[in-house]
Amino acid sequence: MIETEKLGKQYSYKEIISDVTFRVEEGEMFGLIGPSGAGKSTLLRLLDLLEEQTEGSLSLLGEPVTRNPTERLKLRLRMAMLLQKPVVFNTSVEGNIALGLKFRKVGKAETAQKVHDALDAIGLTGYGTRKAITLSGGEAQRVALARAMVTEPEILYLDEPTANLDPPSTEKIEQLVVRMNKELGTTVILSTHDLLQGQRLAKRIGVLMNGKLLQTETTRKIFHQPQSTQIARFVGMDNLIDGKVIATDREEVTIATGNVEIHALSSYPVETKVTALFRGEDVTIDLYPRSTTSARNLLHGTIEKLVPVGPFEHVLIDCGVLIIALVTIRSVEDLGLAPGKEVWVSFKATAVHVIAQNS
Ligand code: ADP
């Protein structure tokens, strides 16, 4: 559906996007994550043919994209884009939704039916004659999405679509996008710096940093097996521990760090300098050493401090090496976790992802 080859974009000699090669299959929901300024919007504008690349090439909907304006417009009419800031025009809600259909010269009766159905789908039945500029941010974004929906785009680009919205409005937009993807088979590319949104919606994710696509993989792999410490930090990997492989046993390695040993699954040979990566939610805290655990890693330590993160707490434990666990507030209370308390920490070898140092 989308295929790029070494795509690049410069603005006045400054490279914003470079060497971006990836493909998205028909019907996929693909996430593009990266910090602000990474180039996500720029990449989406290239894919939506709003701008021309300065390097490389791309194919859309099975056709190589040329510089011919008529051909580009034809392709553009088969795609739609939703921006971070809802765009509504100073006319009625109906008028806003019908805009793309008018442009495509769809007849009156068909337009009326489509607008009616769209209003129903976005939960704004009865709002048709209201002036769109009087809508709330969340409602306006739903109208903007409806405007895209009625044109039945084959590809829908979403550029941080819920960055300005409250959680209930975000949920409504997400539900609508999921429906379009599932029921109409719309191919969706979603850019977001909201990692949880990326995790919720996308099956596959590309990580864009400093204009480069650093890793493209299934969502699970991006969050559990990042290719570099830079990506690991961005995707909220809590534990990044440097060490050296001191023993190997079939698929398992033992990594020494200070006077602590960490067991992980990896094929790096003895003497390799590595970083062990694992998520705080994969770390279990107990007040006594468990006799029943299957976790290969069991360490004793003292809690240094607790740091709240939403409905969870990060518990920092000095086990000779600092281990960070992500624990529900409920568990913190049940276990009476507090600074100075001695605890046992366990995590599975399979939860630890190992990369060579300086990756
Ligand atoms: P993101 O969407 O990931 O936040 P953007 O694509 O908006 O990133 O921006 C990437 C970089 O490109 C930023 O440094 C931004 O200032 C720059 N940039 C974006 N558009 C233009 C432009 N039209 N002219 C010059 N620089 C631009």
Note the pLDDT of residue 196.
Answer: 87
Among residues 119, 79, 78, the alpha carbon closest in space to that of 98 is found at 119
On the question of pLDDT at 143 being above 90, the answer is yes
User: What's the 41 CA to ligand 1 centre distance in angstroms?
Assistant: 7
Note the pLDDT of residue 294.
Answer: 78
Does residue 35 line the site of ligand 1, with CB under 6 A? Answer: no
> φ and ψ at 102, to 5 degrees?
-60, -45
Q: Structure tokens of 156?
A: 């829908």
Whether 202 and 191 have beta carbons less than 8 Å apart is answered as no
Rounded to the nearest 10°, the torsion over CA 216, 220, 222, 226 is -130
What is the secondary structure of 314-327 as a DSSP string? Answer: EEEEESSSEEEEEE
265: how many CB neighbours lie within 10 A of its CB?
A: 16
The protein residue with its alpha carbon nearest to ligand 1, atom 14, reads 37
Note the pLDDT of residue 102.
Answer: 87
Note the pLDDT of residue 359.
Answer: 67
- The atom number, within ligand 1, closest to the CA of 38 reads 3
Ramachandran category for residue 305: left, alpha or beta (phi over 0 → left; psi -120 to 50 → alpha): beta
> φ and ψ at 171, to 5 degrees?
-60, -40
* Residue corresponding to tokens 């829908």: 156
pLDDT tens column, 300-327: 999 999 999 988 999 999 999 999 999 9
Q: For residue 295, what are the contacts with CB-CB under 8 A and spacing of at least 6?
A: 284, 346, 347, 348, 349
Does residue 11 line the site of ligand 1, with CB under 6 A? Answer: yes
Average pLDDT over residues 8-35: 94
Does residue 41 line the site of ligand 1, with CB under 6 A? Answer: yes
Q: How far apart are CA 127 and CA 125, in angstroms?
A: 6
Does residue 13 line the site of ligand 1, with CB under 6 A? Answer: no
Does residue 42 line the site of ligand 1, with CB under 6 A? Answer: yes
Q: For residue 249, what are the contacts with CB-CB under 8 A and spacing of at least 6?
A: none
The pTM (predicted TM-score) of the whole model is 0.88
Note the pLDDT of residue 240.
Answer: 96
User: What's the 141 CA to ligand 1 centre distance in angstroms?
Assistant: 23
Confidence band (pLDDT; 50, 70, 90) for 103?
Answer: confident
Note the pLDDT of residue 310.
Answer: 83
Q: Percent of the chain having pLDDT more than 90? A: 82
Average pLDDT, the chain: 93
pLDDT tens column, 280-303: 999 999 999 877 777 899 999 999
Most confident by average pLDDT, 101-105, 125-129, 211-215 = 211-215
The protein residue with its alpha carbon nearest to ligand 1, atom 23, reads 11
Average pLDDT over residues 123-140: 91
The protein residue with its alpha carbon nearest to ligand 1, atom 25, reads 11
- 3-state SS assignment for residue 53: coil
User: What's the 270 CA to ligand 1 centre distance in angstroms?
Assistant: 44
On the question of pLDDT at 166 being above 90, the answer is no
Q: How far apart are CA 92 and CA 89, in angstroms?
A: 8
* Strand 252-257 versus strand 2-11 pairing type: unpaired
User: What's the 39 CA to ligand 1 centre distance in angstroms?
Assistant: 6
Give the CA distances from residue 267 to residues 50, 120, 125, 271, 272, in Å, rounded to whole numbers and listed in that order.
45, 55, 58, 12, 10
Rounded to the nearest 10°, the torsion over CA 117, 122, 123, 128 is -60
Whether 187 and 316 have beta carbons less than 8 Å apart is answered as no
Q: How far apart are CA 320 and CA 301, in angstroms?
A: 7
